[in-house]
Each structure stands twice: as C-alpha cells, then as structure tokens.
Structure 1
Amino acid sequence: MAWTLGCVNVIGLVLAHMWVAHRRSLMSAAGIIDSDGRHDTIVAPATAQAPAGVAVVRLSGPRALQIGAKIGDRDSHDLSHGQMRFGHLHGADGPIDEGYVVAFHAPRSFTTEHVVEIHCHGATAVVRAICDAAVHWGARPAKAGEFTRRAWLGGRLDLVQAEALLDLISADSDRARQQALAHLDGRLSSELGSIRTPLLSVLADLEARLDFATEQDVDDLNRDQLCADLSSLVDRLQHLVQSAEAGRLRVHGLRVALYGAPNAGKSTLFNGLVGSDRALVHDQPGTTRDHVEANSVVDGFGVTWVDTAGIRETQQEVEAAGIERARQAAIASDIVIWLTDRSGPMPEMPTPPGWQSDSGPVVLAYGSHADRSAAPGTHLHHQWPAISALEATDVERIRQDIASAIRKKTQAMGDALVLTRARQARSLAMAAEHLERACQALAAQMSLELPSADVRDAIDQLDEVTGRVVPDDVLEVIFSQFCIGK
C-alpha cells in the first residue's frame, strides 16, 4: 500500500532526526562541543606511556592542524593530508625533539575531525613536553576512550565496532584477534541491520493500519504470515544470544583451575604448563595458601591457569580461607584439572556446587606422581590417566587435552557470528522476547497497538546494541575501558 510505504519513510526520517539530536546531546554532555557548537581539540599519547624507541602523540579537533603546525615549526598550510613532515619539534619554551608530523584532514580521519599525529622519540619527558605544548596552544588532555568516542559520534564506527576495537587492542591470542577483526569489519552490525530493516517495515505497516487505514485494512492483515516472519527473526536473535559463551571464550579466553588434595603435584604441573617457576613447590602439604595465576595460549585461545590451595580438612584459619578460595576459583573456571596422588588412597571426585550443571566447568581428572611407587599398604589406582608433572610429554598431553576440551566447547559455532559482550546478549534476548510477545498478541487477535509497541521495543533493543540509542551510563562504561589516547 502507498500509505504503508509512506509511513516507512516517515518513521525512518523521524528516527534519523532523533539519532542526530541524540548524538548532538551526547557530544555536548561529553564536553566535545560547547553551547555554541564549537568542538574542543584534544591531545594524548597514542602509544604506551613508557620509555620506548618511538612514541606517537595524537591531536583531534578543529585546531589540531594549527597546534600541530606550531609544534612542527611550520605553517598549517604545509600540513597536507596524509603527508609526513620531518623536522624539529618545538614547545612554547623552545626545542623539544626531532620527529615527524602527519595530518589527516576532516572528515578523512579516524575521528572524522582534523587529526594530527606527532611521531617522536619515546622518552617520557619528550612525550610529556609535546602534550604540554599542545595544551599551551589550546588543546585539552583527552579523556579515556575519547578519540574512539568521537569516531563513534562522527559515524566512523558503531558501538559494536567500538567494542571490537577495544577487543583488538587487548587481544592476546589469535582467536581474540580474529574475532575482534570480524566485528570491526562490521559483520555483526550488518547482521543486526538485516534484522532491523524488516522490523521497521512491520512497524510501519502496523502503525499505518492503526493511524490511517479503515477497519477493512485492519481485518485484511495476515496475522499468521506476520507471526511466521517475526518467528524467523526471533530464531536469528536467539541463535546470536546462544553464541555469547563461544564469543566470551574467543575474546576473553578460558580459566583453567588446578584442583585437588595437598601434594598432588598441582604447583609442579602449573609451572610446567606456564613454562616458568611461578608457583612455590615444596614437600610440606599446604604450601599454596592463595591461588596463583598465569597466562598463556593454547590452540589459539588465551588461557588463564590457576593454581589453587590443596583441598583437605583443616583447623588452621588461614589455610581454610585459602581452601574456600580454591573452591570458588574452581567453580568460576571453564575447565578444572582434578589431580590426585595415584600412589596414595583412592579419593572421591569433588562435587562443589555448579560442577554438575550444564553450565559448570569441564572436569579433567588425572592420577599424578606416575613416577613414584605405591606407598606401603596401598595400591596404584588406574581409574584416571596417569601423569607425572615432571615429564614434559605428560605436561604436553594435558595441554592437548585442554585444547580438545576448548574445541568441544566452541566447535558448535564454527566461524559463525558470535556475541562478545554480555550487554549485547541481554539486549538481543530482550528483543527476541518482545517479538515473541508480539506474535502472541497477533495470534490472540488483540489490538494492533500491542504488537506494534513490542516491535518498536525490539527495534530499540537492537539500536542499543549498535549505539543508535544508548543510555549515557552504558557509554561511560564502554569508553572508560579504553586507554587515554585511544
């Protein structure tokens, strides 16, 4: 119907104007523009703030070219887009260093504003002097994540891509890097857009029937077909929500806890798995009182290894506290390596709360001290694979078992799109719930006002994921995780 198509255009135009106004209010609240609409110019080191061979100081804003030219001791017209200029770098009090100045003219920059990068020697004093000079000539120090926030406000990237950039910056494994790049390339944003577009059409149709159509138009609505269309979108949303666990493992890695009785060889195995003597090893039981952590990579996934206190009955308050922490560390882990001394009495498998649920950790059990003979009056038990934490081949075997467990936990998703943030999963789950309620209202022959409201709420949840509409407190949480200068 012509009025339906017209309503689609009207709704799209209204949402677009709301988005522009929303972004402008956010920019004002964030201090990026003042009451007159003029932008601040910000400055910060873009590289780690530690002594290094080379450092980069970044400027962004309307005065970036002028300030960059002053520091580079040249006219701002000399700073052509994308060209690096070598020369002396100056502050208000004189020379600072030698280096390069490169300019990116708006909107062809990361932030969509004028951007200048100053490449200098990485001495802390040099970087500080350049930042001080920029502030002297009119810039202000950037807040955490402010460059990325300006890129988002300027439409360079959406909120999913901003979070992906944070993941890429902090990636410590190939899987994390690959996943971050997939989101940074816009794959997830495109998928969400392909769900949002038909929902806009549905909303336009429902609201047009409510506002402009006759009773005959309302009666002609094929509710069964509309429910089928919405159910298909619900399935896609739920599939994404179910991917959140795999996304978490890809980006943030897994926690693997070593758990068992004292002197079962946990600390020795821990040191072998991480490749260094991180945990204290001693024959005296109860040496480990608090858990020790170390990171490495297994099969492309980041792994945090956790060595825990030995589990036993004790009257010592400090050791008891360590044992309780060990139990909590095991429950919070994705995989638990349960070690028992196979040369001693046969123990029972521990069952802390959560281990028996589908969402609990995977438990891999081994009989340790395979290099020892059985103690007098006992026999070697063979229920679990025998290993020696002193043997490199056994340590590698456990590492391969961990790799297999990781693949089993993540193989269902393959290379499919996955969510990497809890907030993304929450919003999409709520969107699916709204669409399910819309279907129920349609099936029950209720007024079209009810499914229309639920479809609109579902669109709002999608928009919160991508950042079209998002609460200020959510933005603060996201961008505060970035370093200064990013």
Structure 2
Amino acid sequence: MKQSVSGETIFALSSGRLPAGVAIIRLSGPKTRFVIETICGKLPAPRVAALRTFVDCDGNPIDRGLVIYFPAPSSFTGEECGEFHLHGGKAVADAMITCMYSFEGCRMAEAGEFTKRAYENGKFDLTVAEGLADLIAAETEGQRRLALHIASGAQASLYSGWRQELIRARALIEAELDFADEADVPGSVSDQVWTDLSELGQRISKHVADGKRGVLVRDGFRVVIVGEPNAGKSSLLNALAGSDVAIVSDEPGTTRDLIEIKLDLGGLPVLVTDTAGLRDTEGKVERIGINRARERAAAADLVVALVDLSNAAADFPGDVDNAAVLRVGTKFDLNPAYKRDDCDLVISVRDNDGLEALLAIFAKRAAEAAGNLSDPLPTRRRHLELLAVTSHELEMAVRQDNAPLEVRAEFLRRASFALGRITGHVDVEDILDVVFSQFCIGK
C-alpha cells in the first residue's frame, strides 16, 4: 500500500456546527498516539471507545468524554487516527483545539484533507472519494442512494474492469507486434480482440448517454414555467414553494429575471424556475429577461406552458423550443365554465385545485428520466469528458482497420490512459485539489 509522504499530524472538528450534543475532533498522522496518550493519559484498545478525562499539556482538565484509537493501516486514512468525543459546547471544543495546536508537528486540516490522505494511501480511488463528497452533500433520497452506490465502489469496479479489458487487448496486439516472427505466436492474434473492443465501445457509449441521468439525480430535474404576462407563473411558483418567493402583480412584466425553487419529489431534486412573461416589448431589461426565459426553457427537462383561462384572448406561447411541454390552464376558479381542448391540466392556485396532480406529473417525469438508481451512473462533468475521450479513442482504434497496427495500438493506449484518469490511477495531480476542495473541513 502506498503511504502518505506527509509527516504532519492533522486535526479538525468533524461533527459540524456548534453548539451540539457532541463535538467530535478527528486527528490523523504520526503523532496521533503521542497526542492521545498526552491528553488522555493512556492509549485505549484499538477501535474501542474508552471513557477518559481530557487534559491539556499543563495538566488542566478540558472535559470528560470518549476517545477512540485506530492504528495504521486499519483506519479511514491508512495512517494512525484518533477521535475525541467531547461535550458539544463551543468553549469546550475551542479548548481542545487550542491544546492540539500546542503539539509540534500538528496543524488544522484543510478541506478534504482526511479523504485526500486516504486516497494517497490507497484506501480507495477518486470515484469513491467523489461519491463520499456527494453523500455528504445529498439532500434527497435519490441523491443519497446514488452517492452511496458510488461511494461503495460500484463505479470504481466498473471503470477498473473496462481498463483491464483495454490493457489485455493492448497486450495481445503488442505481442503480435513484438513477436510476429516467432513460430509459436499466431500471426493474427490481435484479430480476436477487435470484436470484443467494439462491444466494449458500445457499453461505454451507453454509459456516457446515461450520464444525463446521473447529472439529473445530482443536480436536479429542471422544470421551467413559461407563459404570457399575467398567466399566473409567479402565483404558481409561490404555491409550489409554500411562500412568496416571486412578486405577484396585475402589472405585466413584473418578473424580469429567473426565480428558482428546489422541491424534493419522490426522493429526486426538482428545480422549478419562474420566468419573464413572453411577449413583444420595447423595454431593454424585460427583453433580456424574455431571452433568458427562452434559453432556460430550451434546456429544460420539462416546460410548463401556462394559459390564463379567465382571458378568452389568451393563448399558450408559441415559440418554446422544447419538445417536452406540459400545457396547463390557470385561474380555473375565475371561469370554471370555460373549456379548452388543448390543456393537459387545469389548476387554480387560489383554490389549491390541481396542484397535487401537477406535482405528481413532475415526480413521474423525474423518476422516468432518472431510471434505475442502482446503476453506477457518471455524475460529474469530469467523468463524462474523460469517458467521451475514451469512447472516441476506442472508436478510432476499432474503425481504422486499414491503419497500421502500431497506430491502432496507440489509440488503445490513449483510451486506457483517459479511463485511468477517472479513477486516479494515472496522472491526476492537476485535478486532486479540485476534487478534495469540495469536502468540508474534518472530512
């Protein structure tokens, strides 16, 4: 196992904002044992919580709580680790942190540094580290399930398996290049690999296509509300949010910028955006808002187009560049006798009529778009970009069957290199700081 080159011992409050019932201070590094023995008087048995009185370097008591010791390499980071469980008062935690600063070679950890050390010590790869970051940031059940699946190593196992297939194919091809003159090496040993590589390319391409599902679960199913001025867009957004997040007025053009709320529907994040009313206008600011509305609608997973049923002259906006459009009639309470055959649903925000049906449609569409959350979906742009490179290089190797074998072998080398960068097996120094800076202090 690769060991961290750092000689420093790091520590941090790992239990979140104070005051709290319990404050947990974590430490990792070569001085862990010495720090624990100095503060507690005696090292506890490995991985057993022991009740101790904590004292500073001058022997003054700090608190009484639990201490746990994790010897290397059987710890989260692969180094010697420890945890102090104190009462969660701010003054108590500050006193313990001040005490730990007094030890030479000990310092406060940077964001994500515990996880970074675990990666550097070979405890897991980058995809697992990113899954842990997503698990910490998860706000919905769907995000939790997908992040836990990735943090458990499903994505790492998938990518490592693909990389091994590429390495094996390269070995067979290079064997033909290097030993073509040997009597015991068939002259066309590489021919058997191209069919397998073609099938591998199809699997990777499908995985890249599934990336939209992963991004949806991580970032949210995007719903955009559009319509003419006074169609009821802001009233609908406020009703969905349960608060007045948007200004509601009879004056046309009140909403000029995008206003967004986040809902948790069926365990999936759903982002609902209110937009400027679509109309011809001379106002410069309102026109900018209308252009933004059209752009957001074009990129949405679902567009909710509104029409005011109380106004017989009103109509749905006709310039929405999106095939996924739900047509909704609003203000049904003002004109219940008025019928339109082109409405998928009618609602009344005032009477709270039709809103549950609308939310049920959002939840159903989001669930259909997310699909099976047990799949190891790519959730990050970094993954998708490197997978796209892998797929392209693999396709070049397979399709250029008239190219010299050396050229096709080079395409495969580049494909396996790109795949290795996802898991962190090759040349990832330039992305490590970006990945681990997303963690909170103490993780």
TM-score, with normalisation over the residues of structure 2? 0.91
Matched, 1:102 2:89: no
Match of 1:373 among 335, 345, 368: 335
For structure 1, which segment, 108-117 or 388-397, has the greater mean C-alpha deviation from structure 2 after superposition?
Answer: 388-397
1:412-458 Cα shifts (integer Å, max 9, x gaps): x57433211121122122212222222234x21x4321122122111
Equivalents in 1 of 2:381, 2:28: separation in Å?
31
Match of 1:121 among 67, 82, 87: 87
Give the match for residue 49 of structure 2.
84
- Are 1:237 and 1:428, in contact at CA under 8 Å, matched by a contact in 2? yes
Match of 2:194 among 227, 246, 251: 227
| TM superposition shift of 1:393 | 4.2
2:396 alignment partner, SS class: helix
Equivalents in 1 of 2:405, 2:310: separation in Å?
72
Q: How does 1:166-185 map to 2 (within 5 A)?
A: 166-185=133-152
Equivalents in 1 of 2:295, 2:215: separation in Å?
20
Match of 2:360 among 383, 386, 400: 400
Q: How does 1:12-411 map to 2 (within 5 A)?
A: 33=6, 39-71=7-39, 73-75=40-42, 78-92=43-57, 94-138=60-104, 139-214=106-181, 220-344=187-311, 345-352=313-320, 355=322, 362-373=324-335, 381-384=340-343, 385-411=345-371
Give the match for residue 7 of structure 1.
none
1:134 alignment partner, SS class: helix
One-letter amino acid of the structure 2 residue matched with residue 366 of structure 1: V
- Are 1:59 and 1:68, in contact at CA under 8 Å, matched by a contact in 2? no
Equivalents in 1 of 2:423, 2:378: separation in Å?
12
| TM superposition shift of 1:92 | 4.3
- Identical aligned pairs, as a percentage? 37
Equivalents in 2 of 1:294, 1:95: separation in Å?
49
- Are 1:346 and 1:381, in contact at CA under 8 Å, matched by a contact in 2? no
| TM superposition shift of 1:241 | 0.8
| TM superposition shift of 1:109 | 0.8
Equivalents in 1 of 2:118, 2:56: separation in Å?
28
Give the match for residue 4 of structure 1.
none
1:65-115 Cα shifts (integer Å, max 9, x gaps): 2223333x313xx22211222233333463333322111111111111111
Give the match for residue 411 of structure 2.
454
Give the match for residue 12 of structure 1.
none
One-letter amino acid of the structure 2 residue matched with residue 434 of structure 1: E
After superposition, the Cα gap between the structure-2 partners of 1:311 and 1:466, relative to the gap in structure 1 and judged at 3 Å, is same
| TM superposition shift of 1:286 | 3.3
- Are 2:176 and 2:187, in contact at CA under 8 Å, matched by a contact in 1? no
Give the match for residue 9 of structure 1.
none
| TM superposition shift of 1:247 | 0.9
- Are 2:231 and 2:306, in contact at CA under 8 Å, matched by a contact in 1? yes
- Are 1:256 and 1:303, in contact at CA under 8 Å, matched by a contact in 2? yes
| TM superposition shift of 1:218 | 7.5
Equivalents in 2 of 1:96, 1:414: separation in Å?
46
Q: Unpaired segments of 5 or more residues in structure 1?
A: 1-19, 34-38, 357-361
Paired positions, count: 439
After superposition, the Cα gap between the structure-2 partners of 1:107 and 1:253, relative to the gap in structure 1 and judged at 3 Å, is same
1:107-166 Cα shifts (integer Å, max 9, x gaps): 111111111111123333332332222122131111111111111111111111111111
After superposition, the Cα gap between the structure-2 partners of 1:280 and 1:98, relative to the gap in structure 1 and judged at 3 Å, is farther
Equivalents in 2 of 1:391, 1:294: separation in Å?
21
- Are 2:226 and 2:317, in contact at CA under 8 Å, matched by a contact in 1? no
Equivalents in 2 of 1:213, 1:63: separation in Å?
57
2:334 alignment partner, SS class: coil
1:225-272 Cα shifts (integer Å, max 9, x gaps): 321111111111112111100111122222222222222222222122
1:351-371 Cα shifts (integer Å, max 9, x gaps): 35x525xxxxx3222111001
Equivalents in 2 of 1:238, 1:381: separation in Å?
44
For structure 1, which segment, 401-410 or 473-482, has the greater mean C-alpha deviation from structure 2 after superposition?
Answer: 401-410
Give the match for residue 8 of structure 1.
none
For structure 1, which segment, 305-314 or 228-237, has the greater mean C-alpha deviation from structure 2 after superposition?
Answer: 305-314
- Are 1:43 and 1:135, in contact at CA under 8 Å, matched by a contact in 2? no
Matched, 1:432 2:391: yes
Matched, 1:482 2:423: no
After superposition, the Cα gap between the structure-2 partners of 1:447 and 1:321, relative to the gap in structure 1 and judged at 3 Å, is closer
1:293 alignment partner, SS class: strand
Equivalents in 2 of 1:70, 1:45: separation in Å?
19
